Structure 1
Amino acid sequence: MSIPKSSRRQFIQSAAAAASLIAAGGYGLQAKAQSRGPVLVSQGLAPLKYTLSWLPSSMDTPLVTAITKGYFADNGVEVTYERGFGSADSITKIAAGQYDLGEGDPYSMIEFNAKNPDVPLVAIYVHFNRSPFGIYTLEGRGITEPSQLVGKRLGAPAGDAPRRLWPVFARQVGIDPGSVEWLTMEPQLREPFLIQGRVDAISGFMTSAMPNLVRGGVSLNDITPFFYNDYGLDLYGNAIITRVELLQEKPEELKGFLNGYVKGWQDTIRDTDRNMFALLDKAKADGQVLDTTIEKLRLTLAMPRLFVTDEVREIGLGDVVPSRMESSIAQVVDGFGLPTKPSLEQVFDGSLLPPKSERMIS
């Protein structure tokens, strides 16, 4: 399967144009965000503890928007959050009850459930309508199509989900999964190793690999991505995950969370910059200074490709197309070598989502 180079290049060029505007002070980034600030929580709200998938970033803008604008409080819940340490860690901690819910990779969740059937988890909202998984190389490495990865050295941490799904991707593009050499490294070394030429390509999330390469001095135009969704792996991405037990015990609290979260997303889509600044301000207040240019680039890359897709415009925020989700479950079960394939209902429960009419975007 081959994706026209023009399609990938058009995506990169549009994102590069956005990055240029950022550097020039465009997108209203010179203006301070206007918001109500953190809402003072009154007594009587039900507490929910949420874990991010990693360090706070612009990708968490909808969550922070819902907190600072009082959308969670309006729905009877008080949401607090903490940084994550990767999807697998978040999933383990949600299962252990350290958090009520949080962001994680639903496919890692499937694997966790297979190994821990006594504490099943379930996704209740899918905010990555497409997977951010991909392989990334640089101009001048002689790799313009996935078939040219044969004989090359690829790099990623051992547990990297895109790396683990490499055999499925490789078969989809018609190459032997064993035809490449994998170099294992710590996450923070992945992009530097590619820049230094110690590997020919890396696997990873689009929303981390590409901004990190730009932070390392690479021009966005010099990055060649091979997104898994473009090559037959029609996967969904990260979701909000909770325990099945909590779904049964606290449906009204979780429903209140989803009502507020959807509003946070709708606000973020309508006015991305203003709401992103609220997140940057909160991160700064919490002692973390985020790079405005990189964070804007991260969200600029993600919005049209992962979040605001044609499918989302049709079915609304947070939901899935059952046949597509079932197909992706089957692909992941194959890729991870799991013994059984879970049902759609064991992976995604949309029963607490707001009505479709309230989840639409303009």
Structure 2
Amino acid sequence: MNFKGRSAGVVGTLALVLQAGTAMAADDVSFQLDWTPGGISSAYYLGVEKGCFTDQDINVTISRGYGAADAVTKVATGVADFSVTDLGVIIGAIGETQAPVKAIMPIVSQSPLAIAIRGDSPIQTMNDLEGRKLGSSVGNAALEYVPYGMQLAGADYSKVKEVLTDGSALNGLLLSGQIDALASYITSAVQIEALAAQNGMTIRTVFYGDQLDIYNASVFTSDEMIANNPDLVSRFKKAVECSYEAASADPEAAVDAITAGVEGMIRDTQVTSVPFAMNFSFGPDNPVFAANGFNWDMDRVTHNIDVVGKVHDKTYDLTADDIVYSPAE
């Protein structure tokens, strides 16, 4: 009997078994967005197409979200493994309810907070909001920061009339002139601009997020996930980085990916917003990303905690380490 040949065959079979075992060991991961897909989140769909997640042995399922608070709740209770939302929301949830979550990487490292107004509006600065109607949906994180933004500008938010309504009605109210301004983000205003153009109108923004010097969208997970599976957390971060590097290099491909990956997505709604979001977040005019990439500036996280405390009129006994976690590279 040829024992040498038999031995080689056994070794070969064992190698195939081990390879199959490795393939089968991929982690199934649920990734919930904080709202409906679009703009900045197009990168995740391109990442799936490019193999960013499978290269990290991750089978990812991406689902739409239902707001920032819901995203935190889903991750804190283990319904979702990872999600993404404003770091300020995460700070508030940890500070007020001891939510067992931590942010693992910044996505939008400079706040895109802005006021959207019609092109023919007399509003030019945050001060000009005094005496005007400001629209927002209930629980909109963008609205929370307007009083602080006005305070920094030396304006009085008590002189602003809030108009709270369903989010789906806000764009129409702005375009019809029933509200004077909309609490929004500079990245979201691009989509409103496209809608306005269909009606022969234009939209402008009063951008004030840069004055706050805080983080915005950040990927987060549960304390339990970090404690029990830090390797998966590290691999997930790498997959997200890969996704955004691909989307930044080719925004049009990200538009195609989200159009193909989200049922009912209309490509024209993403043609302008996706490139704008990628450039705002990762382009040369974002000094925070240029300095830190997808890593945290811990002093800035501490500043973020302070700003959220002022916005909520609370003092949070928190450190940067209570809020963020840096996975192993």
**Band of TM-score, shorter chain:** 0.7 to 0.9
User: Which residue of structure 2 lines up, in the alignment, with residue 179 of structure 1?
Assistant: 159
Q: Any residues of structure 2 matched to 1:54-93 within 5 Å, and which?
A: 54-93=35-74
Q: Any residues of structure 2 matched to 1:110-189 within 5 Å, and which?
A: 110-117=91-98, 119-189=99-169
Structure 2 counterpart of 1:84, which letter?
G
Give the conservation status (yes or no) of the 8 Å contact 1:210–1:220. Answer: no
Give the conservation status (yes or no) of the 8 Å contact 2:251–2:275. Answer: no
User: Which residue of structure 1 lines up, in the alignment, with residue 288 of structure 2?
Assistant: 311
Report the RMSD for the aligned CA atoms in angstroms.
2.0
Q: CA deviation at 1:313?
A: 2.6
Give the conservation status (yes or no) of the 8 Å contact 1:195–1:213. Answer: no
Structure 2, unaligned stretches of length 5 or more? 1-21
CA distance in 2, matches of 1:206, 1:218: 19
Count of residue pairs the alignment pairs up: 306
CA distance in 2, matches of 1:271, 1:211: 19
- Residues 263-298 of structure 1: per-residue CA shift (max 9 Å, x gap): 111111112212331221122xxxx23222221211
Q: Matched residues, percent identical?
A: 21
CA distance in 1, matches of 2:151, 2:319: 24
With normalisation by structure 2, the TM-score equals 0.87
Report which of the two structures shows the higher radius of gyration computed on alpha carbons: 2
Q: CA deviation at 1:339?
A: 3.7
2:327 matches 1:351: yes
Give the conservation status (yes or no) of the 8 Å contact 2:248–2:282. Answer: no
- Residues 89-118 of structure 1: per-residue CA shift (max 9 Å, x gap): 11111111100111111111111112322x
2:239 matches 1:260: yes
Q: CA deviation at 1:219?
A: 7.9
With normalisation by structure 1, the TM-score equals 0.79
CA distance in 2, matches of 1:295, 1:195: 20
CA distance in 2, matches of 1:188, 1:219: 17
Give the conservation status (yes or no) of the 8 Å contact 1:104–1:238. Answer: yes
User: Which residue of structure 2 lines up, in the alignment, with residue 27 of structure 1?
Assistant: none
User: Which residue of structure 1 lines up, in the alignment, with residue 8 of structure 2?
Assistant: none
Structure 1, unaligned stretches of length 5 or more? 1-40, 355-362
For the residue of structure 1 that corresponds to 2:271, the secondary structure is helix
User: Which residue of structure 1 lines up, in the alignment, with residue 252 of structure 2?
Assistant: 273
Give the conservation status (yes or no) of the 8 Å contact 2:192–2:203. Answer: no
For the residue of structure 1 that corresponds to 2:108, the secondary structure is coil
Give the conservation status (yes or no) of the 8 Å contact 1:165–1:336. Answer: no
